Structure 1
Amino acid sequence: MNSIILMAEIIEDPQLRYTSDSQLALTEMLVQFPGLRDVDPPSTLRVIAWGNFAQEVHEKYHHGDQIIIEGRLGMNMIERKEGFKEKRAELTAQRIYPVQMELKTQSQPSDTATTPNKVVP
């Protein structure tokens, strides 16, 4: 089974589009992750999502977000204008998790005098 888990940063906002018959949503984005060694440049990878998940990815994630992507890796053959074929890796996402969740604190006045004590002596 082909399975991959990758921690990366989104470097291109997710772009939502639909198949030619407008039946299925497709989201594409570009992510970047560090090389194996400190001297290696970062690598980029195209990530796609399909259907309702594609719409969720488009709405929820943006450029600069740190994410963990779970999915399957595939290779595509692309015809170049220069007259040769190029292989490109593409990750089809099945799940995406944010790495950092912002904690939203709501400042509510705490009045201990009106809060009943629920400790039984």
Structure 2
Amino acid sequence: MSWYPQPIGELDSPRVRRLTDSCGAEGAGVWLAAKCELYRAAAEGIQLTFDELSRAVSRDLGISRKKSQSVLETAAKCGVFEVKNDEKRTVSGYGFQQEVERYNSISDQRKRAANARWWNDKV
């Protein structure tokens, strides 16, 4: 995915601050990698399970799967994202799907504007 928002000051949010207090810089790194994976999944219209997310984060960062799971469990306890208690333990982020929908809407508007300009230039 070529785009996702990274608001200024997000690392200072209380949820992320609790995570970095618990896990240090590793917590921030795992959170950013997990955020990328969750945005990618939302853009593709799929939901990740906790195991899929921990596997992806482990692969992306080159850390052990056990470490990835441990930090992600701490992140869920800190409220950075939610692990649902369904049979698959799906993971959902706060606002990811809405941001992806907003991005898609803006992209569609830009494509229509570009096409309209192209058509006007040809006339």
Determine if the TM-score, normalized by the shorter chain, exceeds 0.5.
Answer: no
Larger gyration radius, structure 1 or structure 2: 1
Structure 1 length normalisation: TM-score?
0.27
User: Quick check: which one's strand share is greater?
Assistant: 1
Structure 2 length normalisation: TM-score?
0.27
